[in-house]
Amino acid sequence: MNKRRFIKRIGKNNKAQATSIIYFFVITIAILICSIIVLKLVNTIVTPFQTQIGNMSAPAGEAVKNVQGKFTSWWDIFIVLLFIINVLLLFISAFLIDIHPAFVIVYIVCVFFMFIMGNYALDLLDNVWNKMATTTELAQSPMQLFIMANFNLIMLGIVILSGIIMYAKFKWFGSGMGGSTS
């Protein structure tokens, strides 16, 4: 089976799916909102427990504090890994799209509206983090804060790379429209 038929078979019903970039954006915002909620819950529950158990036994209190510290540091890494997996899935989706040159315009329009609506979503995300997060949660999330602070620039880079992937696929395999299938 040649490459063109293989790619056609994998991406058979994926024509003009510019929505993958929008799904990426929505999933990323949802992950970041859920992240602060989980950190807030963990800190709200574990910190008083750690204080109470520390009053009874100092080593037990230190053990709970260490577990909480490990969880919160790994939680930040876990959220960033989810973000990276989401980026990789977007690039795979960009490669599997059987695109026609006319749909590049649709992709560009969707990206344009995503950036317009994205600023409102980022404001919402910033409000959620500012209302829920204390200095403790903010200190526990340095990588997430970096992503949020540079989100528009990161999104621009991702959009450019996914566009390059789609364009390169288009040039490499052709448009997928017409031609021989042998």
Residue 124's pLDDT is 81
Q: Which of 64-73, 92-101, 105-114, 146-155 has the lowest mean pLDDT?
A: 92-101
Mean pLDDT of 84-100: 75
pTM of the model as a whole: 0.68
- For residue 134, the surrounding DSSP H or E stretch is none
| Structure-block tokens of residue 95 | 């490669």
CA atoms of 89 and 92, how far apart (whole Å)? 5
The residue behind tokens 């364009």 is 167
Count CB-CB contacts under 10 A for residue 161.
14
Q: Of 176 and 33, which is predicted with more confidence?
A: 33
How large a percentage of the chain has pLDDT more than 90? Answer: 7
Residue 15's pLDDT is 46
Q: For 150, which DSSP code?
A: T
Residue 107 has pLDDT above 80, yes or no: no
Q: For 16, which DSSP code?
A: T
Mean pLDDT of 116-128: 81
Residue 66's pLDDT is 92
Give pLDDT tens digits for 137-147: 888 889 888 98
| Structure-block tokens of residue 158 | 């991702």
Domain residues of the chain, as ranges? 18-173
Give pLDDT tens digits for 36-90: 888 889 889 998 998 999 899 999 989 998 998 898 889 889 988 888 888 887 7
